[in-house]
Amino acid sequence: MHRTCVQSTNVRSIGYANGIIEVEFKDGSIYHYYGTSEALFNQFLNSSSKGQFVHRVLNRYRFSRG
């Protein structure tokens, strides 16, 4: 999946494809969030705090580390 680099203290890059948001954290870990939408990804991309978006919004979705 193609990811876009973002400015964040915790998140290095994010991507979206086929209902999955992929997040690469600065520690090198990668998480996949399932059942999401492109509109939600765009909200994430435009959010002022990527880390807060993960904790307040994305963690409500099923996810896996991978």
Please state whether beta strands 30-34 and 4-5 pair in parallel, antiparallel, or not at all (unpaired).
Answer: unpaired
Q: Which residues pair with 32 in a beta bridge?
A: 22, 64
| Predicted pLDDT of residue 14 | 98
pLDDT digits (tens, 9 = 90+) for 5-45: 999 999 999 999 999 999 999 999 999 999 999 999 999 99
Q: Of 45, 18, 43, 42, nearest to 32 (Cα)?
A: 18
Domain boundaries, the chain: 4-65
